[in-house]
Amino acid sequence: MTETQAEKVQIAVFDFDGTSIEGSSPSWLVNRLIFTLKISPITSLKIGCWGVAYKLHLPQNESWVRGQVFRAFAGKPKREVDQYLRNFYDEWIAHRFRPEAERAMRKCTEKGCEVVVVSATFEPIVLRAMEEHSFQHQISTRMKVAEDGTYTREVDGLPIEGDAKIVALIHWCDGRFGEGNWELAYAYGDHHSDEPLLAAAKHPFAVSPNSGMRRIAEKRGWPILDWEIDVPKR
């Protein structure tokens, strides 16, 4: 390793849903919103149809579905909604955080890496997780706030999904550390849409991958890690 390389900030990036946690926080959130009647049956049906198309790998509008979910929160004060999402994390997601993810994050931190979670899920959920676990930074989906301090149904920018993950990470790292002053040392992801993120890393890892990511990892020779845990039903 040259002196120039040694001076570069080392980045370790982790996906959240299906990688750092067992399952999908947006799916659990939608389930809770349906159960508590915070979204209508019609909206629930629309989101369900979107989910089916997503699983079939059909092109989908990521911003649109997040707007549908945020029908439950549109017009409500940001502080109130953020607290709801924090409480949601504590009750429904915290126990799903994988011990192996925590260990890997801690190990990367001990190596001197800046540990970043890059996720399509809503920002308040990831911010709450960051208070409890060994990552220092996060890049996640942020919803727009109106001038009166209430949430809208619009995404602020783009959802941090698929190709947008590596684009957002590069933008964030260049802004924080300076272009050319950092490198992506480690990347962990579970979904085939995480391929661009993992492909950019010196050390990519496929974590409990779906079938698409498993094929990609086997073809590229990426290590495959099994971080799955049994989650008690509630």
Total domains in the chain come to 1
Question: Confidence band (pLDDT; 50, 70, 90) for 105?
Answer: very high
**168 domain-assigned:** yes
The answer on pLDDT for 92 being more than 60 is yes
- Map tokens 């991958």 to a residue: 209
* 12 or 59, which is more confident: 12
The answer on pLDDT for 3 being more than 60 is no
**101 domain-assigned:** yes
**233 domain-assigned:** no
Q: Region 107-122: what's the mean pLDDT?
A: 98
* CA distances (Å), origin 47, targets 40, 103, 115, 189: 11, 34, 32, 24
**114 domain-assigned:** yes
Question: Confidence band (pLDDT; 50, 70, 90) for 183?
Answer: very high
Kind of pairing between the strands at 114-122 and 9-14: parallel
Domain that holds residue 115: 3-225
**90 domain-assigned:** yes
Pinpoint the alpha helices (H) of the chain: 3-7, 25-35, 41-55, 62-69, 78-88, 99-110, 123-132, 163-177, 195-199, 211-220
**146 domain-assigned:** yes
Question: What is the pTM for the complete model shown?
Answer: 0.92
**140 domain-assigned:** yes
The closest alpha carbon to 20, from 134, 110, 123, belongs to 134
Kind of pairing between the strands at 9-14 and 182-189: parallel
CATH of residue 132? 3.40.50.1000
The answer on pLDDT for 61 being more than 90 is no
Amino acid at 186: Y
**88 domain-assigned:** yes
* CA distances (Å), origin 114, targets 9, 21, 174, 182, 199: 7, 20, 13, 10, 19
- Return the pLDDT at 58: 67
- How many angstroms separate the most distant Cα atoms in the chain? 60
Least confident of 2-6, 130-134, 159-163, 209-213: 2-6
The answer on pLDDT for 59 being more than 80 is no
